Each structure stands twice: as C-alpha cells, then as structure tokens.
C-alpha cells in the first residue's frame, strides 16, 4: 500500500490515487476493504472537491460531467478563484480547490445551494464565459473515492468495475457497522 502515514502524529494517512488517464489525486485513507482477494480503499480528497454547473435562467443548473482539462471555462474559473486566494486543480476523478475556504453561513446556504439527484451543493463562485453563466459548487455530502491497492499503488476504480464493486463494498461496510 502506498499510504504515507506520519509517525505517531495522530494524522490520517494519505494516498496518491491515479486514474486511467494518468491524472492523480491526493486523498485521505478512510478505510481498507478486502474483497475477492484484492484490497480496496475508501478515500476522501485532501483538497475540496468541486462540481461545475452551467447556470440557466429559470431552469435548474446543469451539471457538467465531462470537461477537457484545457477547456476555456476552467481558465476563467481559475482566474476567478485566484481573486479569492484559491487555486483550481484538475485532479483525477474531480476538480478540486486548494486554499482557505470560509465556513458556510447556514442562513446563506438555502439561497446559494442546489439539489441535484439527492445531493446538495453550495455555490463557491460563479462566472461568465461568453454569454453563458457557470458556477463551481462544493458538494455538501461526503465525497468518497474507491481505489484498488496493487503492488503498492492506488488505482482509481472506474466505470463498469466501479459499478460491480460498489455494492460489495457497501455490503461489507454495513456488515462492519452491525458488528460494532
């Protein structure tokens, strides 16, 4: 396992996860789940994950699932974030933001948040590119990543493999919870 655990510091170990495109993401190691003679890890990003939405007048915001790393929208988002002393990172799995984020004000949460497929997001920044408005939102639900440990490397579990292994991991975690 390629976790980097500090000695006697009480900190959570971190793992560098790689995806199939060679991008990586530094994550906290939450749990290890052995399944089918393999070791899987449940991870959370060290930096704050963000989702990009296209904002439409009088319509629900549209989640942009896939975006090229050289997309002009991201260049504009980067400039806007820099004004807030934040940086956009094009990571494996998700976009992330580094820097000091302010704690959300519960009163503002209602007006600046959206619900999409049972997930809630809080607006971090909004900006315009050409005639379209976009927003970077922070998911308020925990953002977990599944990786497989193999030969000391953590590799992101993606696509069809993820959909096959996800219910098995959930069942294992539920079983652990009932034993505690």
Q: How confident is the model at residue 106 (pLDDT cuts 50, 70, 90)?
A: low
- Average pLDDT for 149-176: 88
* 23-50 pLDDT per residue, tens: 899 999 998 999 989 999 999 999 999 9
Q: Is the pLDDT of residue 5 over 80?
A: no
Single pTM value for the model: 0.77
**Own/partner pairs for 1-5, CB < 8 Å, 24+ apart?**
1/32, 1/39, 1/41, 1/149, 1/152, 1/154, 2/149, 2/152, 2/153, 2/154, 3/29
pLDDT at 17: 93
Please state, in angstroms and rounded to a whole number, the distance separating the CA atoms of residues 148 and 134: 34
Residue in the structure block whose two tokens are 């006697």: 8
């Amino acid at each position: 396992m390629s976790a980097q655990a500090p000695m006697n510091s009480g900190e959570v170990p971190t793992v560098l996860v790689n995806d199939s495109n060679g991008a990586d993401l530094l994550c906290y190691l939450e749990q290890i789940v052995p399944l089918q003679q393999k070791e899987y890890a449940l991870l959370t990003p060290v930096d704050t994950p963000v989702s990009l939405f296209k904002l439409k007048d009088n319509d629900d915001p549209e989640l942009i699932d896939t975006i090229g790393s050289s997309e002009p929208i991201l260049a504009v988002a980067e400039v806007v974030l820099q004004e807030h002393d934040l940086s956009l990172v094009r990571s494996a799995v998700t976009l992330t933001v580094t820097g000091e984020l302010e704690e959300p004000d519960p009163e503002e949460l209602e007006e600046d948040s959206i619900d999409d497929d049972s997930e809630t997001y809080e607006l971090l920044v909004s900006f315009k590119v050409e005639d379209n408005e976009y927003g970077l939102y922070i998911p308020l639900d925990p953002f977990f990543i599944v990786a497989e440990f193999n030969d000391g490397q953590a590799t992101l579990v993606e696509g069809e493999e993820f959909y096959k292994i996800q219910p098995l991991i959930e069942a294992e975690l539920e079983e652990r919870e009932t034993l505690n």
